[in-house]
Amino acid sequence: MPGRKALIRRPGPRLTEGLVTHVERVPVDAGLALRQWERYAGTLREHGWETVEVAPADDCPDGVFVEDTVVMFRNAALVARSGAPSRRPEPAAVEEALGRLGCSVDRVREPGTLDGGDVLKTGDTVYVGQGGRTNAAGLRQLRAAFEPLGARVVAVPVSKVLHLKSAVTALPDSTVIGYAPLVDEPSLFPRFLAVPEESGAHVVLLGGGKLLMAASAPRSAELFMALGYEPVPVDISEFEKLEGCVTCLSVRLRELHT
């Protein structure tokens, strides 16, 4: 039967040095970040997800953003190769963890670059953002890995944010949600819903209509409630300072058979 596992990786001692590209650097409270991460992981478990903690990446400031290290499609894993060279050591321990879970594993190879945060899946459609961290060669390698498994891959331009999923995610009915000023081409999505706050564009589907989302987007939460969903807010303020969001902090393995 399909299981619900989530890969997570705790913040390392260099978290405050994490990369920022589209926001101004502000101080990060490392102690508060760790408490927020622990609460995030606890919330996943409270809603039926088994968390699998990946070995630490203490030399990598951005290691906590484990989503960027791999893209899953069904039982297949494509290990990423970041467009940011400082992040390229991060996937090694993730690949080891996926191997122990029985995943089929492939890798993005030079000259390809791909960050998992640039990949949004809705059903069998896989949207891939091309911008600062993911290039055309990385997109081609993702196509080669996933199209034979039934994926429909759609390229999406990304110029206003760090990753595609910094701009958009999707509701359970496959409606893509985003903060319109940061979305390059909303018309690429068959159904697009604008949300009133930047952090309201990011949801993790917990199951049963429950949406894990940032506590910093109360108006978006009201919008989702009006649509019949149940927001589950978590405070991730310290990670938002590093351009992180709720999707970045885990890799959800929804179709992994155990």
Active-site residues, by number, are 163, 248
Q: Are 134 and 115 in contact (CB under 8 A)?
A: yes
Task: Residue 66: name the closest of 139, 56, 74 by CA.
Answer: 56
End-to-end CA, the chain: 6
Number of neighbours of residue 127 by Cβ within 10 angstroms: 21
Task: Residue 193: name the closest of 179, 204, 181 by CA.
Answer: 179
Number of neighbours of residue 17 by Cβ within 10 angstroms: 14
Backbone angles phi, psi at 92, to 5 degrees: -55, -50
Euclidean distance between CA atoms 93 and 88, whole angstroms? 11
> Burial level of 56, CB count in 10 A (0-12/13-18/19+)?
middle
CA distances from 258 to 7, 46, 48, 53 (A): 15, 20, 15, 17
DSSP 8-state class, residue 55: P
Q: Which two tokens stand for residue 127?
A: 């949207």
Euclidean distance between CA atoms 102 and 80, whole angstroms? 18
